[in-house]
Amino acid sequence: MAAHLEFPKRNAAYAATFDKGDLALPPAKKYIVITCMDARVEPASQLGIELGDAHVIRNAGGVAQDAIRSIVISQRLLGTREIAVFHHTGCGMLLFTTEHLREVVKDADPGNAVVAEAVDKIDFLEFGHLQESVKSDVKFLQEHPLVLKDTKVTGWIYDVTTGKVSQVV
Ligand SMILES: [Zn+2]
């Protein structure tokens, strides 16, 4: 069964007890979490983030470079002042290279020049070492001209086998 067919029923159960309809648009606790789209990662419960508290920006890997558009909106228009970068153990971003993924896409559609040109434009921003990727993302944000200078930036690793987080920087 397609996943979306379950949404109305599951949402009805959620909405039946929903009582947070008066939350403000800006995040109450003024922070951003950047993390991976991995299905085992769920920042709200793993970090105790209540509805309305924070902006959670997710992408493949929790890569800072991929989050800049959202960070500028979050800081300049919605008042966030702290950023926490979370990468995690067992991340798929440790398991491939951009060159390999480009070949996978091209091999699935041989001779399609439009597909080849489109995928060649994408840097998938994979990484080879967890601690180093966290450190380099923190540095990237601290040095980025569009990130506010007084922003507190920290870097973390979430362990998918224990449920625990550890701070890297
Ligand atoms: Zn991941």
pLDDT-derived band at 52, boundaries 50, 70, 90:
very high
* Mean of the per-residue pLDDT values of the chain: 98
Cβ(106)–Cβ(115) under 8 Å? yes
Q: Mention every residue, 6+ apart, whose C-beta is less than 8 A from residue 94.
A: 126, 127, 128, 129, 130
Q: Give the pTM.
A: 0.96
CA distance 37 to 60: 5
CA atoms in the 13 A half-sphere facing the CB of 66: 17
Domains with residue ranges and CATH for the chain: 25-93+126-167 (3.40.1050.10)
Please give the distance, rounded to the nearest whole angstrom, from the Cα atom of residue 158 to the centre of ligand 1. 10
38 annotated to a ligand binding site: yes
Per-residue confidence (pLDDT) for residue 1, from 0 to 100 = 75
Per-residue confidence (pLDDT) for residue 64, from 0 to 100 = 98
What is the tens place of the pLDDT at every residue in 68-106? 999 999 999 999 999 999 999 999 999 999 999 999 999
Please give the distance, rounded to the nearest whole angstrom, from the Cα atom of residue 35 to the centre of ligand 1. 8
Query: Shortest CA distance to 53 belongs to which of 16, 25, 15?
Result: 25
pLDDT-derived band at 161, boundaries 50, 70, 90:
very high
